Structure 1
């Protein structure tokens, strides 16, 4: 019973961290809407999260917190990636090039898509602060931190799967080019805002 309670606490906490709108979620949602390499993107994001959650539960958070220069370097790289993706989204919003792909797994370059997913995940300093440091610290307060980590990992898998594959339900709305322009404009604003806040935090 104690293990189940701890796992549920981890699930709730992990879901609370991951549901917030961010670069990674926006990318997964866009891939889901385009029905483009959804399974691969969901797998990369979920597996990455599981690795980070396990690292946090194992105590890596203290090491990350003790090396601010490393975190600063990741922040700068991450801000650069976010700016690049934000500018790309802004261009799509202006040109109106967004469209749905006819079938799952079609369109786009798989390698480039996966590299973007990896960059938006591992070069995001919030991942280390939230998933590794914060979640790791909270899990340590439980007698069975691994059960907390399992719950958080389950939340990650459920969220990314629902976001990526569930996006298909919005396909009728995004059959209109105007909807894609608005969506890409929101993505561009989100990415640039996050990048600006990251760089501002270094000042």
Structure 2
């Protein structure tokens, strides 16, 4: 329940921020949606903990890759999009060597950006969707399941070319409840540090 409240609060904050800025921003917003954008990114999934039936197991640092596609809304700074991300991490304890946990997520995301100047901007984002978790043992056998999940992110972007921006981002992602891997109830939140490029269209 706390996760649901946190995510709902993040969405409410993002939706309310433009309104607090000033009424003219809303009244001057054009009726049409703005330009599209696409992003590609990569980085690392930070060390984390996977919980199996109430027992915790450490995960090592692993890779993270993703992409997103979205569109600017009539409200300046506010955009909506779809985000897909994959992560992988090996279990840290020696007894579980060569055993991995992978995640694949798909989120509908809302982002609000605040320009600092003509080059830099800060942003926050929140998303709702699904998170799939896959356990892979040392023999390559796998157990998979997916559940409803959320993500929240903060980052900064810098324009490097006319239609290209470089960004760095911290993202937290989790499921609202455990997922079933075989007969096991599993949860595995992830924190990622990401660097990527946004292409405006």
Q: Tell me the TM-score normalized by structure 1.
A: 0.23
Higher helix share: 1
- Which structure has the highest strand share of the two? 2
The structure showing larger relative contact order (alpha-carbon pairs under 8 Å, at least 6 residues apart) is: 1
Point out the structure with max Rg over C-alpha. Answer: 2
